[in-house]
Structure 1
Amino acid sequence: MRRRTLIRGTVATALAPVGIVAAARAAAGAGRAAADAQGVDVSNYQLGIDYARAAGEGRSFVIAKAGGCQLAEGPYVTSSYAGHVDGARAAGLRVGHYWLSGDFLTPAAAADYFVDHLHDYRVGDVLALDVEVLDDSTRLWNDTDVATWFNRVRERVGAYVPWFYISAGALRAGAWSRTVAAGAHLWAASWGPNNGTYPGAPDLGGRYPDWAAHQYTSVGSAGGVSPVDLNLARSWAFDLTEPTDPPPGGGGLPKSST
């Protein structure tokens, strides 16, 4: 990700592509770690993407930015979020929803806002937390913050597919035992030369058991749009999980799906 947020003064834009997804092609190539799916993550920077075309190009999943809490004026829902989800869903692609961490909500309150504003959430969708410092925020969320967010999301929705996005460098600089215990699959960002080619598996420095998904470049293309972040994911990255030490509290559906 790592782009200043396009949200202030932005209006929603509808995305229209429809179609049937082709069978997802297994990621392959010299130096490429074994992976079962290729996909993209998208926000306001990828308006107009043709998801049927992206499916034909071998993309099988889309992780759409739902919103964040890194702006001083408060939390928000990304204007392109619903359109990305609807377009990807219509093309038969697997869908995910991600939230950008920040200084302007507590982790638990951020999790509640995220769940309350999910669009067309379905069990089996990825629910992801993007941990980086952007826009008005100044502090990277730590292990306790991240685990609190994931555990609160789980309290709200029950068993789900949790992805923890962070750069490999920031991952290596911290300790993440609570996040591991919360059951979060690691979505590691490691771009190497960032020239659109696969740079090899991310270096986790022993800070996480393994990576489930790898964002390997920010200069790819998909569905007629560029630049687009490209990702690989293992098949187990989409498994429903429970924390190893579940927190108290009930499950249940989101309060709202819009």
Structure 2
Amino acid sequence: MTDQFTGSRRRSLRTLLVPLAASLAIATLSATPAAAAETNGHAAAGRVPGTAAPPSLSAAAVPPGYPITGVDVSNHQGGINWSSVAGSGQRFMYAKASEGLTFTDSYFAANYANAKANGLYAGAYHFARPDRGGGTAQADYFLDRARYAADGRTLPPMLDIEWPWEGSGSTYPCYGMNPGQMVAWINDFVARVRERTGRPTMIYTSASWWNPCTGNSGAFADQPLFVARYASSPGTLPAGWSRWALWQYTDQASVPGISGNVDHNVFNGSTADLAVLAGGTAAVSRPRPGSGLVRWGDQLQGFERRADNTLQHVWWNGTTWTSETLFPTMSLAGRPVALIDSANWIQVFARGTDNTLQHVWWNGTTWNRETLPGGAGLAGDPAISIDSLNYIQTVTRGTDGTLQHIWWNGTAWNRETLPGGAGLAGDPAISIDSANWIQTITRATDGTLQHIWWNGTTWNRETLPGGAGLAGDPAISIDSLNYIQTVTRGTDGSLQHVWWNGTAWNRETLPGGAGLAGDPAISIDSANWIQTVIRGTDGTLQHIWWNGTNWNRETLTGGAGLAGDPAITLDSLNYIQTVTRATDGTLQHIWWNGTTWNRETLPS
């Protein structure tokens, strides 16, 4: 990443990104090192002090096993030919938007717009100046310029937090702050980004700066990590993280369309994972009355979006798992969800890459497909349920932040914008209660939970009690008492339970601490016990459940390696069945057989 001065480069992570000996204290770092020759205006976070980059890295040899590459740029690169950049195979970019409270990068608007126009995933970053204004104020300054859009093509807003650049006037190396102050500053920045965009913050840093300046803080493990290290591996990650999203492995790359050397980065995942990072899709839908995993008789039916944007159908026929691709020419951008109607037809919905709603269904004989009326303008993933008349009810977020209702009335499909205005973030959850009222829960941009419901006559909207502090998308179910049960992840990584008890709304933090990532899945079993599964920050699957008396939590079998959000259903024996995506792109089946938990990899 780059500082605001084209003629004087900051002392970035380049100068001291080497593993610190255990005995190295902050006091040792406090002396400003001798200035180094600065010839390129870009971040160089992995250079050993006083040495040249290894030849293989200077030649920008992409680390094996990471084929998805991209660049980060600023005013230091000058004008860029983004058509040539895209033609060289780059898939993503970050461009500097701002620094502190006074600097806006003059090249940002062109870089951001032209990169997107040429098919790259694009993101904006802010160079942190913790000594020049609070974290909240700098996040606002940044977001006012970052042009963030929930369009499935925009990477999470990024915070570049590292060494002060040479000549900045900032106190080296931690801007004059102690670890507690630094952690508080970062937390304020991250919280504001979440509040205004509904997204996590990509954090660009290195272990050599992060660990001493934050006191080895692990408080931000739920934010994606952009690690900087110029070596053959990312090495030991900054405290708190067990996995990185992006790795800046060199500042010496030569990329067509960009003059001089440029920072080169690799992505830790598949093309589908990159879409997820940009607010697109995960392989399996999060659970709702309509879910990516449904039970058809005693056969499990799973639906996911493949890396090539096609719809994968995987099912258990009682003996074996089978996989097929439905409608290979269909291009999906969102997570598929499915339900079984009263005629025993399978109904599948997903957002297309053109932001329309796609409907795929099995009518007992053949698979069929249609684009639902009402045009495009959809931004999120749909939630679906079916009412007592066998009418399909689906809701999804519009690109304008409103809630869109698309439903089948027995004769035709219809679409309307629900009242209450915009201001919505993330994806909604839906269920239909015993009175045939449609109950929808979704998160607002301010981190509160919004309840939007049809009472048989009109649509209504309210903000649920308990304040903000929510980070994930909610999951909903209705128990045998007709009480609404919803769970969602808090910004602190805990699981929040919000429920209607017939008289009032309530909210509690579920036991077991934090350490959660992604979005939960919920189902209620025949004993009226609430069953929830959610991915941990360590990649394991966490099971959190209410047994009629108290809440419990356990780590499910099979270890870690999970990347997506789980889907859940209950089989005819009341056994829990869940599927979720692994970091290698496979679909994992984790289930309770009445005695033990089990795990297997499903066919692709």
TM-score by length of 1: 0.73
Question: 1:117 is matched with which residue?
Answer: 145
Letter in 2 for 1:110: Q
Structure showing the higher helix proportion among its residues: 1
Cα gap change, 1:143 to 1:41, in 2 (>3 Å):
same
Task: State the partner residue of 2:194.
Answer: 154
Pick closer, same or farther for the CA change 1:2–1:154 going to 2, 3 Å.
same
Partner amino acid, structure 2, of 1:95: A
Could you tell me how far 1:176 is from its partner in structure 2?
2.7
Query: What SS does structure 1 have at the residue aligned with 2:66?
Result: coil
Say which of 97, 116, 124 aligns to 2:124. Answer: 97
What residue number does 1:68 align with? Answer: 99
Q: d(CA) in 2 for partners of 1:68 and 1:83?
A: 17
Q: 2:244 aligns with which of 211, 228, 244?
A: 211
5+ residue gaps in structure 2? Answer: 9-59, 280-425, 427-470, 473-488, 493-604
Cα distance in 2 for partners of 1:154, 1:207 equals: 19
5 Å-filtered alignment, 1:179-190, equals 179-180=220-221, 183-190=222-229
Deviation string, structure 1 residues 110-158 (Cα, Å, up to 9, x no partner): 1111112223634442210000222232235732221221111111112
Please tell me the root mean square deviation across aligned C-alpha atoms, in Å: 2.8
Shift of 1:245: 3.0
Q: Percent identity?
A: 29
Looking at structure 2, the residues matched to 207 and 162 of structure 1 have their Cα atoms a distance apart, in angstroms, of: 15
Task: Decide whether aligned partners of structure 1 residues 90 and 100 sit closer, same or farther in structure 2, where only a CA change above 3 A counts.
Answer: same
Distance 1:31 1:233 in 2: 11
Whole-Å separation in 1 of the counterparts to 2:235 and 2:67: 17
Match of 1:86 in 2: 113
Specify whether residues 210 and 221 from structure 1 end up closer, same or farther in structure 2 by C-alpha distance, changes over 3 A only: same
- Do 1:191 and 1:217's aligned partners in 2 also have CA atoms closer than 8 Å? yes
For residue 75 of structure 2, what is the aligned residue in structure 1?
44
Q: How far does the alpha carbon of each residue in 1:57-89 deviate from its partner, in whole angstroms, 9 at most, with x for none?
A: 1110010000111xxxx4221111101001101
Q: Which has the higher strand share?
A: 2
Count of residues paired in the alignment: 214
Partner Cα separation in structure 2 for residue 47 and residue 30 of structure 1: 24
Report the equivalent of 1:175.
216
Secondary structure at the aligned position of 1:121 is classed as coil
Quick check: 1:131 aligned with 2:161? yes
Q: What secondary structure does 1:117 align onto?
A: helix
Q: For the residues of structure 1 that align with 2:160 and 2:226, how far apart are their CA atoms?
A: 9
> What is the CA–CA distance in structure 2 between the aligned matches of 1:218 and 1:246, rounded to whole Å?
33
Name the counterpart of 1:200.
233
Q: Secondary structure at the match of 1:109?
A: helix
Q: Which has the larger radius of gyration?
A: 2
Aligned residue for 2:208, secondary structure, equals: helix
Q: Paired residue for 2:477?
A: none
More deviation in 116-125 or 214-223?
A: 116-125
Structure-2 separation of matches of 1:200 and 1:147: 28
Partner of 2:261: 227
- CA drift of 1:205 comes to 6.0
Change (3 A) 1:157 1:7: farther
**Cα distance in 2, alignment partners of residues 239 and 33 from structure 1:** 23
1:128–1:163: 8 Å Cα contact kept in structure 2? yes
Question: Does residue 191 of the first structure (1) align with residue 211 of the second (2)?
Answer: no
In structure 2, relative to structure 1, the CA distance for the partners of 1:123 and 1:151 (3 Å cut) is farther
In structure 2, C-alpha distance between the alignment counterparts of 1:155 and 1:200, rounded to whole Å: 34
Offset at 1:161?
A: 4.8
Distance of aligned partners of 1:115 and 1:66 in 2 relative to their CA distance in 1, 3 Å threshold: same
Task: Between 219-228 and 136-145, report the one with greater CA deviation.
Answer: 136-145
Distance 1:201 1:120, change over 3 A: closer
Are residues 137 and 245 of structure 1, via their aligned partners in 2, closer, same or farther at CA, if it must alter by over 3 Å?
farther
Identify if the C-alpha distance between structure 1 residues 152 and 168 changes in structure 2 by more than 3 Å, giving closer, same or farther.
same
| Deviation by residue 1:159-212 (Cα, 9 ceiling, x = unmatched) | x252100023213434232222xx3101011013xxxxxx22232165422111
Task: Check conservation: 2:2, 2:96, Cα contact below 8 A.
Answer: no
Alignment-derived partner of residue 245 in structure 1: 490
Give unmatched runs, 5+ long, in structure 1.
Answer: 9-28, 193-198, 248-258
Distance 1:94 1:2 in 2: 20
